[in-house]
């Protein structure tokens, strides 16, 4: 496998929503790469654009949202790089890529399965859509996938409805469906947010094992830094529609560069912190998307903010160490302003 | 020293403010045309704990284990099926909230307040900040508008909001600010006991710390007693003097915070701790998942409810329900093997 060339390369992606109240720049110049077999964790707080980024990659952004700029280069069929932004979202080619080459484990677990069909029917349908197999073979594959993700007695469970399953089993069934066509890229949008810690640990272990077996790349989205630390190889830190910092997971946690990453890591309570002590906080709140500040999106809350610089122009994402990149004027002068 | 634990135990070694004994709440399961009762969900099933004045008892457990139902019983938002909720009122008298007539309960209400998980759902979007925060005062007989305005300004400052915001509506505020508004309203009548059900779970990571610090500061200033309900062990560890762990409607273990996290005595507590994703990529291999799912409280297993998932289960565990026992000073455990087991806590990382 060629690890030099990325499987997916998102370049300066901008996805905006035009509303009556104004324009929401949900994703505003996002860039990152995913290498084959790599687990990329995208971490950020609610509303920072994680889901819109991956919906853009899958080309499932609904009106009034629109990709207005940038490229999404995907290594299609293992060779040439195809720019997904240039495809018609409804085209046959995009449909094949969605599901067969890039599969999604969505954020809302209940929404993933229809309540009126059995999970087996839905997994089989996904297989039949993308693979030249008979109905019988599809059922066999579906049972195999369910077994692989640890659903007990899959021959019987395949005929259950999603609402008959416990949270943990539903999560597993969802992963089985996403894996049904052997995708090269699996996108998991907060797959463990709605479940308990003991189930979450099971699901994270499962994803790690599956990743190793299938050699699929994973984009794992979460706001939980603990989960990121446990699953990701490479981390993308987002804030207000932009990438603040990227780097290998160990560097992000042990040698963070961007003031937002540093502050975020200090502010989270951990099981080893002293009880009753006060945590360092990040002052203020995330601005409303209509009131986005000019300049660096983090400047109103940044303790290192440099007046006249940070509040007037927007830093671009640049390499700041051998392995990390950051969007911050403490390290460079490059801006993203036209 | 200055650990939260020691301070509060020393300063309030008197009677508990709240003493919950044998608390039960069963919900009927109804089926068919005649809505016949075919069974019961044992949401809270013989729960025992106490809270000392000025301390924070953290209540943790997985979704559906009965945390919210327990809190609702304590504030008499629902009527318990059985058991006692003994509360030492400001007047000095100890009353059983589980049995109190509605009129007396109404008189007690101002002393106990609840903060809910969702700061978006718990605020009326058509009321401005002044109305929201002053409503409980109005209901409880403070009719003078200027008196209420002064108090609202004071409360907003207390929770870190500007008094100028008084005329604004909830939609103009972020999640963290809304939770501050909810807290201001809960404090309007100078409560003694505050029950907070997942108060930071819906908040962004970067504002959780602000609200946790605020709750700690307010406790110090106002001598509040907290029951703090959460599923997140890190948050509970951070804020609690003592912690109670719940599993399928029962208390598995209660201990001072450090004792519980360093030397857990119940296999379920240890399993919960092992499942917490540590925010450090260098301690990856430690995450050992518990097998199986949480049983339904409508159909719990025999004996110890944890036995189908417990790596230490023996024959007795399938037959006999373990009772909550004090196996070390202040350390209560409901496990047949609590004394002999050596379990790993958090510091083992
Ligand atoms: N259909 C839509 N119409 C208008 N604005 C939208 C729409 N979908 C998303 N947005 C806005 O785009 C921004 C990014 O949203 P997104 O769903 O990507 O956030 P997220 O990072 O996934 O957050 P969360 O952690 O809450 O899932 C937000 O400001 C959101 O309000
Ligand atoms: N009003 C109700 N009617 C029937 N069952 C209920 C009701 N409220 C809670 N339950 C059940 O009681 C159990 C405990 O619920 P809850 O106290 O909300 O748990 P937690 O807050 O720990 O997640 C769950 O199985 C839940 O489904
Ligand atoms: S660019 Fe300025 S405001 Fe933005 S993170 Fe860097 S120092 Fe802070
Ligand atoms: S009583 Fe038995 S089954 Fe229950 S936790 Fe203790 S050892 Fe495990
Ligand atoms: Mg999202
Ligand atoms: Mg609850």
Asked if A72 contacts A84 with a C-beta cutoff of 8 angstroms, the reply is: yes
Question: What's the rounded Cα separation, in Å, for the pair A67 and B67?
Answer: 44
Question: What's the rounded Cα separation, in Å, for the pair A264 and B167?
Answer: 32
Give residue B290's pLDDT: 79
Give residue B63's pLDDT: 82
Q: What is the pLDDT of residues B52-105, one digit of tens each?
A: 999 999 999 988 899 999 999 999 999 999 999 999 999 999 999 999 998 999
> Is the confidence at residue B12, as pLDDT, over 50?
no
Domain locations in chain A as residue ranges: 8-240
Distances in whole angstroms, Cα of residue B28 to Cα of each of A319, B21, B25, B33, B40: 62, 22, 10, 15, 5
Give residue B348's pLDDT: 44
Give residue A110's pLDDT: 67
Comparing A172-181, B23-32, B287-296, B330-339, the range with the smallest average pLDDT is: B287-296
B1 at interface of A, judged by CB pairs closer than 8 A? no
Comparing A190-199, B118-127, B332-341, the range with the smallest average pLDDT is: A190-199
ipTM score of the complex? 0.85
Nearest to A168, CA basis, from B278, B274, B299, B295: B295
Could you say which ligand is closest to the alpha carbon of residue A291? 1
Q: How many residues does chain A have?
A: 338
With respect to CATH, is domain A8-240 assigned 3.40.50.360? no
B308 lines ligand 2 (CB under 6 A): no
> Please, what's the b/e burial string for B117-134 (b: 16 or more CB within 10 A of its CB; e: otherwise)?
bbbeebbeeeebbbbbbb
Which of A44, A255, A275 to probe by mutation at the B interface, max B CB count within 10 Å?
A275
Give residue A163's pLDDT: 85
Residue B287 C-alpha, separation from nearest chain A C-alpha, in angstroms? 7
Give residue B309's pLDDT: 93
Sort A109 into a burial class: Cβ within 10 Å, 0-12 / 13-18 / 19+: buried
Which residues of A are less than 8 Å from B65 in CB distance?
Answer: none
Question: What's the rounded Cα separation, in Å, for the pair A206 and A36?
Answer: 19
Query: What H or E segment, with its residue span, contains residue B46?
Result: strand B36-52
Q: What is the A151 CA–ligand 4 centroid distance (Å)?
A: 25
Question: What's the rounded Cα separation, in Å, for the pair B206 and B198?
Answer: 16
Which CATH fold topology does B11-126+169-277+292-333 show? Answer: Rossmann fold (3.40.50)
> Is the confidence at residue B1, as pLDDT, over 50?
no
Task: Name the residue facing A286 among B174, B290, B293 (closest C-beta).
Answer: B174
Q: Which parts of chain A sit beneath pLDDT 50?
A: 1-2
- Start-to-end C-alpha separation, chain B: 23
Sort B167 into a burial class: Cβ within 10 Å, 0-12 / 13-18 / 19+: exposed
Bridge-based pairing state of the strands A8-19 and A22-34: antiparallel
Which residues of B are less than 8 Å from A228 in CB distance?
Answer: 279
| Residue nearest atom 26 in ligand 1 by C-alpha distance | A46
Residue A258 C-alpha, separation from nearest chain B C-alpha, in angstroms? 15
A17 lines ligand 1 (CB under 6 A): yes
Question: What's the rounded Cα separation, in Å, for the pair B147 and B162?
Answer: 18
Residues 159-188 of B with CB under 8 A from A: 174-177
Comparing A77-86, B29-38, B55-64, B320-329, the range with the smallest average pLDDT is: B29-38
Domain locations in chain B as residue ranges: 11-126+169-277+292-333
SS3 labels along chain A: CCCCCCCEEEEEEEEEEEECCEEEEEEEEEEEEECCCCEEEEECCCCCCHHHHHHHHCCCCCCCEEEEEEEEEEEHHHCCEEEHHHCCCCCHHHHHHHHHHEEEECCCHHHHCCCCCEHHHHHHHHHHHHCCCCHHHHHHHHHHHHHHCCCCCHHHHCCCEHHHCCHHHHHHHHHHHHHCCCCCEEEEECCCCCCCHHHHHHHHHHHHHHHHHHCCEEEEEECCHHHHHHHCCEEEEEECCEEEEEEEHHHHHHCCCCHHHHHHHHHCCCCCCCCCCCCCCCCCCCCCHHHCCCCCCCHHHCCCCCCCCCCCCCECCEECCCCCEECCCCCCCCECCC
Nearest to A316, CA basis, from A297, A292, A293, A291: A297
Which residues of A are less than 8 Å from B289 in CB distance?
Answer: 198, 201-202, 205
Question: What's the rounded Cα separation, in Å, for the pair B343 and B262?
Answer: 9
Residues 284-313 of B with CB under 8 A from A: 284, 287-291, 293-294
B238 at interface of A, judged by CB pairs closer than 8 A? yes
3-state secondary structure of B21: strand
Asked if B346 contacts B273 with a C-beta cutoff of 8 angstroms, the reply is: yes
> Is the confidence at residue B317, as pLDDT, over 60?
yes
Q: What is the pLDDT of residues A61-80, one digit of tens each?
A: 998 999 999 999 999 876 78
Give residue A22's pLDDT: 82
| Residue nearest atom 4 in ligand 1 by C-alpha distance | A17
Which atom of ligand 2 is least distant from the CA of B296? 25
Bridge-based pairing state of the strands B250-256 and B16-31: unpaired
Among B36-45, B63-72, B241-250, the range of highest mean pLDDT: B241-250
Mean pLDDT of B125-153: 91
HSE-up (13 A, CA, CB side) for residue A272: 12
Asked whether the beta carbons of residue A286 and residue B206 sit closer than 8 angstroms, the reply is: yes
State the DSSP string of B111-168.
GEEEE-S-TTTTS-TTS-HHHHHHHHHHHTT---HHHHHHHHHHHHHHTT--GGGGG-
A181 lines ligand 1 (CB under 6 A): no
| Residue nearest atom 6 in ligand 4 by C-alpha distance | B335
What φ, ψ does residue A94 adopt, rounded to 5°? -65, -40
Q: Measured in whole angstroms, how far is the alpha carbon of residue A147 from the centre of its chain?
A: 26
Give residue B278's pLDDT: 87
Q: What is the pLDDT of residues B176-232, one digit of tens each?
A: 888 889 999 999 989 999 999 988 887 777 788 888 999 999 999 999 999 999 988
Give residue B3's pLDDT: 39
State the DSSP string of B205-256.
HHHHHHHHHHHHHHHHHHT-EEEEEES-HHHHHHH-SEEEEEETTEEEEEEE
Is the bond leading into B284 cis (omega within 30 degrees of zero)?
no
Asked whether the beta carbons of residue B275 and residue A267 sit closer than 8 angstroms, the reply is: no
């Amino acid at each position: 496998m060629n690890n030099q060339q990325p499987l997916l390369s998102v370049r300066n992606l901008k996805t905006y929503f035009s509303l009556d109240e104004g324009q929401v720049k949900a994703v505003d110049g996002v860039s990152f790469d995913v290498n084959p077999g790599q687990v990329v964790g995208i971490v950020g707080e609610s509303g920072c654009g994680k889901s819109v980024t991956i919906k853009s990659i899958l080309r499932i952004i609904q009106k009034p949202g629109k990709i207005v700029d940038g490229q999404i280069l995907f290594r299609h069929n293992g060779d040439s790089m195809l720019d997904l932004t240039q495809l018609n979202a409804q085209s046959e080619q995009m449909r094949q890529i969605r599901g067969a080459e890039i599969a999604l484990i969505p954020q809302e677990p209940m929404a993933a399965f229809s309540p009126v069909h059995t999970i087996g029917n839905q997994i089989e349908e996904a297989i039949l859509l993308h693979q030249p197999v008979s109905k019988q073979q599809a059922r066999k594959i579906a049972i195999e996938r369910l077994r692989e993700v640890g659903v007990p007695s899959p021959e019987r469970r395949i005929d259950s409805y999603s609402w008959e399953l416990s949270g943990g089993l539903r999560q597993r069934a969802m992963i089985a469906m996403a894996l049904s066509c052997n995708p090269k890229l699996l996108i998991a949008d907060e797959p463990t947010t709605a479940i308990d810690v003991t189930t979450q640990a099971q699901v994270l272990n499962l994803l790690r094992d599956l990743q190793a077996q299938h050699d699929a790349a994973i984009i794992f989205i979460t706001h939980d830094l603990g989960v990121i630390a446990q699953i990701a190889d490479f981390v993308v830190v987002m804030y207000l529609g932009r990438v603040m910092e990227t780097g290998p997971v160990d560097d992000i946690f042990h040698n963070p560069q961007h003031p937002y990453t540093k502050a975020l890591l200090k502010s989270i309570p951990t099981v080893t912190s002293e009880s009753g002590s006060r945590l360092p906080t990040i002052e203020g709140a995330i601005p409303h998307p209509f009131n986005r500040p000019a300049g660096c999106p983090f400047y109103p809350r940044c303790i290192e903010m440099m007046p006249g610089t940070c509040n007037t122009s927007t830093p671009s994402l640049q390499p700041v160490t051998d392995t990390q990149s950051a969007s911050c004027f403490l390290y460079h002068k490059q801006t993203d302003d036209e | 020293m200055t650990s939260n634990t020691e301070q509060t135990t020393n300063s309030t070694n008197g009677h508990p403010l709240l003493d919950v004994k044998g608390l039960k709440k069963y919900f009927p399961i109804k089926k068919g045309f005649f809505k016949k009762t075919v069974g019961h969900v044992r949401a809270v099933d013989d729960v025992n704990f106490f809270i000392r004045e000025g301390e924070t008892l953290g209540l943790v457990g997985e979704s559906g284990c009965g945390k919210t139902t327990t809190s609702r019983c304590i504030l008499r938002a629902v009527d318990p099926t059985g058991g006692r909720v003994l509360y030492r009122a400001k007047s000095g008298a100890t009353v059983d909230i589980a049995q109190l007539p509605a009129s007396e309960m109404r008189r007690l209400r101002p002393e106990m307040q609840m903060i809910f998980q969702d700061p978006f759902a718990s605020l009326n979007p058509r009321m401005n900040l002044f109305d929201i925060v002053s409503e409980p005062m109005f209901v409880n007989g403070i009719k003078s508008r200027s008196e209420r305005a002064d108090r609202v300004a004071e409360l907003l400052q207390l929770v870190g909001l500007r008094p100028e915001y008084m005329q604004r509506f909830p939609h103009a505020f972020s999640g963290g600010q809304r939770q501050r508004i909810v807290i201001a309203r809960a404090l309007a009548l100078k409560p003694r006991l505050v029950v907070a059900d997942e108060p930071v779970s819906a908040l962004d990571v970067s504002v959780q710390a602000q609200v946790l610090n605020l709750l700690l500061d307010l406790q110090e200033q106002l001598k509040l007693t907290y029951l703090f309900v959460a599923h997140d062990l890190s948050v509970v560890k951070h804020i609690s003097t003592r912690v109670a762990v719940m599993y399928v409607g029962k208390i598995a273990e209660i201990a001072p915070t450090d004792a519980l996290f360093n030397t857990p005595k119940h296999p379920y507590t240890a399993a919960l701790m092992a499942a917490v994703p540590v925010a450090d990529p260098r301690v990856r291999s430690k995450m050992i998942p518990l097998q199986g799912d949480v049983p339904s409280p409508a159909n719990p297993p025999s004996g110890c409810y944890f036995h189908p998932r417990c790596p230490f289960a023996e024959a007795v565990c399938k037959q006999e329900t373990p009772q909550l026992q004090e196996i070390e000073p202040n350390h209560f455990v409901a496990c047949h093997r609590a004394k002999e087991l050596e379990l790993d806590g958090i510091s083992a990382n």
